[in-house]
Amino acid sequence: MSTMATFRFGQHIIKSSAVFLKTELSFALVNRKPVVPGHVLVCPLRVVERFRDLRPDEVADLFMTTQRIADVIEKHFQASSLTIAIQDGPEAGQTVKHVHVHVLPRKAGDFDKNDSIYDEVRFKSRTSSSSCTTCCHIH
């Protein structure tokens, strides 16, 4: 990818150096406010606010890309499970008006209550955090 290229993520401009995978219709980056190490976002290239507004080819590419990344993330972070989630609309916790899939590697005991991860995703999306420096290599 060219270092001059950028990607739109809702109202944000993402440098190509932050994107570790680009397909025909999607791209992926490490979340700048990770809930757990390896927290990745997969987004359609076209800026679309709600999941229902994606075209069928975009849905297929988004989920095939998510599956591909999920496999690598789970192995790389030696996780035993994954949380894969979409916050679709403001009442669901969506803060960036661009469909995106959260992929989070999970391990036994990483949260006291399993569903606490959803509270943490909502909290992290509203607060600042340090950048994750983990780089994923997808082939």
Annotated binding site: 12, 31, 87, 93-96, 102
Q: Is 100 a catalytic residue?
A: yes
- Binding-site residues for substrate: 12, 31, 87, 93-96, 102
Note the Cα 40 to chain centre separation in Å: 4
Q: Name the region of 121 (left: φ>0; alpha: ψ -120 to 50; beta: rest).
A: alpha
* Active-site hit among 39, 76, 100, 137: 100
User: CA-CA distance, 136 to 56, in Å (whole number)?
Assistant: 27
Handedness of CA 107, 73, 61, 13 (dihedral sign): positive
Note the Cα 125 to chain centre separation in Å: 12
What's the DSSP call for residue 52? Answer: G
Amino acid sitting at position 116: S
Kindly list the catalytic residues: 100
